[in-house]
Homo-oligomer: A and B are copies of this chain.
Amino acid sequence: MPDATGTSLLRYAEVQWFYARQMQQLDLGKAGPWARTFTEDAVFDVPTLPEPVRGRAGLVAAVERAHARLAEAGERHRHFMGMVDVLERADGTLDVRSYTTVYASVAGGVSRVHRVCVCEDVLVRVDGELRVAHRKVTRDDLP
């Protein structure tokens, strides 16, 4: 069961907050600020990309491409993360497993569930702030 000391519970709130901001940056197409929530050499392994991206330049490019495609299609996506579970390693690194539902809406149309994903992150601290060092996302609709 979760380690229920004050320190770990405050950190739990911090992790939730970190993700809330990160997902909003993603959906707003704020590629630069979003990429800076990852470490310089982060690995980003998601089903929508043909192979894992490494490093912030690739992250920025991936988000800009995705955002442009959505704008063209007249769609809005929202990444709604939750069920965040945190495991702390002895060195302070955090292994975080969570769910993300992606909603898609068409302007003048309807909103729907687009994807249901599991997100496995490795979070580290850089200059006191949380950063994603590794992200692996799997989609429930893929075998």
Contact = CB atoms under 8 A, between A and B. Distances in A.
A106 interface: yes
Task: Report copies per complex.
Answer: 3
A67 to B, nearest CB: 15
A90 interface: no
State which size class the interface on A falls in. Answer: 35 or more
B113 A99 contact: no
A108 B10 contact: no
Interface string A4-24: 101001101110111111011
A37 interface: yes
Contacts of A106: 141
Interface stretch (A38-46, A47-55, A56-64, A81-89): A81-89
B105 A141 contact: yes
A79 B142 CA distance: 18
B13 A9 contact: yes
Contacts of A12: 13-14, 16-17
Contacts of A142: 107-108
Contacts of A16: 12, 16
